[in-house]
Structure 1
Amino acid sequence: MHALLISCATLFFACSISAGAATHADTLVVGMDLSYPPFEMTDKAGEPSGLSVELAQELGKALNKPIAIQNMAFDGLIPALKTGKIDLILSSMTATAERARSIDFSEPYFKSGLSLLVNKSSPVASVADLDNPQRTIAVKRGTTGHIYVAQHLKKAHLLLLDKESSAVMEVVQAKADATIYDQIFVVQNWQRNPDTTRVLLDPIDAGEWAIGIRKGNDALKVQVNAFLATFRANGGFSRLADAYLQEQKAGFEKLGVPFPL
């Protein structure tokens, strides 16, 4: 997979992966969980990289503000936004009604329904089969997959983990029947583990990713939405998909499913 790993120094952005507030009032502090490649990750030098990082950099250029990226656990992003430690969440976050009670969201920029990555030896043929005390589901803590299981699959044994990769490994090693996550994540990990996993890609719950914004920060919300509209109209999202998501696009094509970006 080709990735445009652009250094923050080259773009004159003040990037940081430490915890804490902005270094100065004019900096736009963006919260991410840098453990979800190719969207949010670190390069070999430990610097933030990925599709979401480049999108944040483009937003900074549009707003004429330097960007500081704060790396934190996914379930800590909303509390950090609400307490002012960060200004935005740009971390493959699905805009849900529950989350919208605490924070505002931009217009969506990515469609991402939930689907299943299943171990090949598991008898699971649909999400309904998972609502069974004999079935085990591994999910990342605080994600929409976690929320879905808690609400709809209460009979299943739930393994709560801190990383998507850990949930996938439980499925690969047949310690869990399935993991529930965004379609693009499921396709990506099926491609990487074709001998031990299979995919049930029909969305079990529709969703769209959006940028999280603190309630009351209406001026920033208007600016973010204007940027997203212009960036899409100018082919920005298509360019990012070509740079970062060739592997995933090929997987969707093989399965006969339209690519969501």
Structure 2
Amino acid sequence: MRKLFAGLAAMAIAAFGAVEAKADKLQDILSKGVVRIGVPLDAPPFGSQDANRKAVGFDIELAEMVAKGLGVKLEMQQITGANRIPFLLTDKVDIVISVMGLSPERARQIMFTAPYANTFLAVYGAKSAAVSSPETLGSARIAAAKGTTQELAITEAAPKANVMRTEDDATAAAAYITGQADLLATNSIVAQALAKQNPNKEFERKFVIRRSPAHMGVQMDQHNLVRWLDSFIFYASMNGELDRLHKKYLDMPMDPLPTL
């Protein structure tokens, strides 16, 4: 009998642990009064630091709007393209807002919201670079932050490409700007910002990898949180706030975005 009760107790504890592991993240955020959001500081205009080392950018302001909408305090954590998903999987953040593109592989690990910004991925270089497609890359060195959508996409499109995989987007951009790399694979809006900041460096678009709208990400099975964020994105689209962010940071109005 003791063994039976011990076995039942162990099963109950395991079941309770499973329930706890799938706790409602939205309710947890509301109860604690704090939301932890991972944001980039290496991908202007979505996220960077100003002269006073204050975080600024599209994703920074969007994170502030999310926290305000939830009615909780914002705890921002700096993330990179490589650790965005690991930070969610290890529960270091509740939400990732980091110009993140959706792919079927990523969707096996985390859940994505509806898109909030319309961008595409492309390869950029000097006008003299004779590159117009993945097939014409040859031995040219392409800088790309590891773990990002562009790094994964260019690797898939050109498995033999000479990709210089860096720790983050800022290092990839620096590698191209300083001549360590011949080309740069990045987000179209990031390339636009880099061109403005570096007028003596050419950022000609050599070819488009693919369209890649930006999505927020949360842990798998957090349906309530995803639903709330989708509602937030819809509301921010209807009241003009997302359009305001597009004009402020991306120098363009918000175009209609695809839905999931």
Q: Shorter-chain-normalised TM-score: which range?
A: 0.7 to 0.9
Larger radius of gyration: 2
Match of 1:199 in 2: 204
1:63-110 deviations in Å (ceiling 9; x for gaps): 111111011333112111112111000011111111111000111111
Question: What is the aligned-residue identity percentage?
Answer: 26
1:82-161 equivalences under 5 Å are 82-130=89-137, 132=138, 134-161=139-166
What's 1:8 paired with?
none
Alpha-carbon distance between aligned partners in 1 of 2:199 and 2:123, rounded to the nearest angstrom: 14
In the aligned structure 2, how far is the partner of 1:127 from the partner of 1:189? 22
Partner of 2:42: 35
- My pick for the range that moved more, 100-109 or 179-188, is 179-188
Instruction: Assess, with a 3 A threshold, how the Cα gap between structure 1 residues 166 and 119 changes in structure 2: closer, same or farther.
Output: farther
Query: Would you say 1:74 and 2:42 are equivalent positions?
Result: no
1:209 is matched with: 214
Partners of 2:82 and 2:98 in 1: CA distance: 11
Q: Is the 8 A contact 2:82 2:167 kept in 1?
A: no
Distance 1:139 1:241 in 2: 24
Q: Contact 1:170–1:176 (CA<8 Å) still a contact in 2?
A: yes
Judged with a 3 Å threshold, the aligned counterparts in structure 2 of structure 1 residues 178 and 245 are, in CA distance, closer, same or farther, namely: same
- Please give the alpha-carbon distance, in whole angstroms, between the structure 2 residues aligned to 1:44 and 1:177: 29
Per the TM alignment, residue 201 of structure 1 is displaced from its structure 2 partner at its CA by 6.5
* RMSD (CA atoms): 2.5
How many residue pairs were aligned? 228
Q: Which amino acid aligns with 1:227?
A: F
Alpha-carbon offset, residue 226 of structure 1: 0.6
Spell out, residue by residue over 1:232-251, the C-alpha distance to the aligned partner (whole angstroms, 9 max, x if none). Answer: 100001211232233xx4xx
**Are residues 202 and 136 of structure 1, via their aligned partners in 2, closer, same or farther at CA, if it must alter by over 3 Å?**
closer
Which residue number in structure 2 is paired with residue 15 of structure 1?
none
Q: Deviations over 1:5-43 (max 9, x none)?
A: xxxxxxxxxxxxxxxxx9x82211001222212211233
Q: Given the superposition, is the C-alpha separation of residues 67 and 140 from structure 1 closer, same or farther in structure 2, using an over 3 Å criterion?
A: same
| Residue ranges of structure 1 left out of the alignment (5+ in a row) | 1-21, 253-257
Amino acid at match of 1:156: A
- Residue equivalent to 1:234: 239
What SS does the aligned partner of 2:61 have? helix
Secondary structure in 2 aligned to 1:120? Answer: coil
- Structure 1 runs (4+) deviating above 4 angstroms are 258-261
- Is 1:48 the counterpart of 2:31 in the alignment? no
TM-score, normalisation: structure 2: 0.79
Q: Does 1:245 align with 2:246?
A: no
Which deviates further from its counterpart, 94-103 or 179-188? Answer: 179-188
- State the secondary structure of the residue aligned to 1:220: helix
Higher strand share: 2
Change (3 A) 1:172 1:60: closer
Contact 1:190 1:199 in 2 (8 A): no
Cα pair 1:119 1:172 within 8 Å, conserved: no
Q: What residue identity is the alignment partner of 2:180?
A: K
Tell me if the contact between 1:119 and 1:171 (Cα under 8 Å) persists in the aligned partners: no
In proportion to residue count, which structure has more helix? 2
> Structure 1 counterpart of 2:35, which letter?
L
